[in-house]
Structure 1
Amino acid sequence: MTILEMLPLLMSGLGTTVLIVVIALPLAILVGFLAGIARYSGNRLVKITAVVYIEFFRGTSVLIQLYWIYFVLPFLGLSLSAFNAGVLAISLNIGAYIAEVVRGALLAVPQGQHDAAIALNFTRWQRMRHVLLPQAVVNMLPALGNLSIELLKATSLVSLITVADLTYRAKGLADLTLQVGSIFGCVLLIYFVLAQVLAWVVRRLEVRLGRGLKRGGLADG
């Protein structure tokens, strides 16, 4: 078989990979922001809960987390499809790293901005929403871009629980045709192109939000 003949099957796997990224990335960002803000919280219980989540998912293997969610949770009464288990495991794992990026970016906002918001009698939520987050988001974008690419690469692990993603399709074709070099060379190129697309999107967001921040008068704060 030629690569052109294999391409339709690889493209079907690529569609699954892209779908996982489209679902898992926003979920990871949401979880990461919530956990990152929670670590910044003055509520001790909320802060401890966030720390436990972050340290557990950063300190254990994403592959074991994936296996645990897919193979162990059913024994506890919660069964997930292979696709949903993959999305959940990847989102929770990358979300833990995003949480630390969020916390670090919030801590990097100059103290003067905090003081000014307090002087204006902003509530804690108003300070977070109107002053701290708009500045922190721009600073965290480069790291978020790197983690987005890490999430993309982590999607290949779902092939181990039979999700028919790009890697799963490639392995099936390689086993069938024994054309390992050409098939996985093509797959490497596809992942590389996807990573470049994600990096480009993040760079565009960084430029756009940076301009908006300057227009808002916060850049020099």
Structure 2
Amino acid sequence: MWIRVLAAMLAATLTAIVILSFQDGFKVFVPGLLQGAWLTVQIAVLGALLAVVMALTAALAKLYGPLPLRWLAVAYIEIFRGTSALVQLFWLYFVLPQFGIFMDAFPVAVLALGLNIGAYGAEVVRGAIRAVPKGQWEASTALNMTRAQMLRRIILPQAFVAMIPPWGNLFIELVKSTSLVSLITLADLTFKAQQMNQATLQTVPIFTLVLLLYLAISLTITICMRFTEGWAAKGVLHGKAS
């Protein structure tokens, strides 16, 4: 039911964007804002992939790694959760060159946002693994599985279902955080909007379109995560039944 509601909201949002794109006061801004939105989507997708990899790696290292890896995982999680994403972005873009490390703005944006969201995601992964009933661990041990086999075959598939809703929130937060990359010269959706607003002072049409574009992206993520949650839950239930 909720997916239908979300799909209706997404359809209404896209319809509003299309209608406004033909209005005299709006259509001049649409091409530029769509270019910015495309860059925003690219940063969000690549940042999300990095965040998932970092979250899984850090969570497993914190739970089961040797002591040095545990310390490293804890340091990563606490540093990136305990400092501002904006400061992290500036540090990678403006401070690293002082040490001879130069990166373009786009990889810096992906790296900073991916590492930031990955730190929060690591705690989501850790909590989901810990939430798997103790009996599942005991049954896996009784079957003489190694820890890697337990995690791959029994624990992570069940934990995955519990991870999906909070990861959906984190992905939406990642999309909203992409607005920060305009401060390191990337022409994302926010940058394009600010640039157009400064040139034309047409605040209402520009930021109305920006609001609708961000909403469309966020609704798309939410719908995809709801479908993924339903698919994963059916898989787990099927596995238990069999």
Q: Is the 2:25–2:205 Cα contact (8 Å) retained in structure 1?
A: no
2:19 is aligned with 1:27 = no
2:59 is aligned with 1:43 = no
Shift of 1:189: 1.3
Secondary structure in 2 aligned to 1:216?
helix
Indicate which of 138, 141, 160 corresponds to 1:118: 141
- Aligned-pair Cα RMSD in Å: 1.3
Tell me the equivalent position of 1:137. 160
CA distance in 2, matches of 1:182, 1:154: 22
Secondary structure in 1 aligned to 2:64?
coil
Q: Is the 2:182–2:191 Cα contact (8 Å) retained in structure 1?
A: yes
Tell me the equivalent position of 1:104. 127
CA distance in 1, matches of 2:186, 2:121: 25
Which structure 2 residues correspond to residues 137-176 of structure 1 after superposition, within 5 A?
137-176=160-199
Q: Is the 1:24–1:88 Cα contact (8 Å) retained in structure 2?
A: yes
- Residue deviations 1:168-191, cap 9 Å, x none? 101000000001122112101110
Q: Using CA pairs below 8 Å that are at least 6 residues apart, which structure has the higher relative contact order?
A: 2
2:223 is aligned with 1:200 = yes
Aligned length: 219
Gaps of 5+ in 2: 1-23
Indicate which of 19, 27, 33 corresponds to 1:4: 27
Aligned-partner residue type, residue 225 of structure 2: V
Structure 1 runs (4+) deviating above 6 angstroms are none
Q: State which drifts further: 185-194 or 87-96.
A: 185-194
Tell me the equivalent position of 2:91. 68
Shift of 1:119: 1.1
Question: TM (normalized to structure 1)?
Answer: 0.96
Gaps of 5+ in 1: none
Q: 1:73 to 1:114 in 2, by over 3 A?
A: same
CA distance in 2, matches of 1:218, 1:45: 40
Question: TM (normalized to structure 2)?
Answer: 0.88
Q: Could you tell me the percent identity over the aligned residues?
A: 47
CA distance in 1, matches of 2:39, 2:74: 32
Shift of 1:214: 0.6
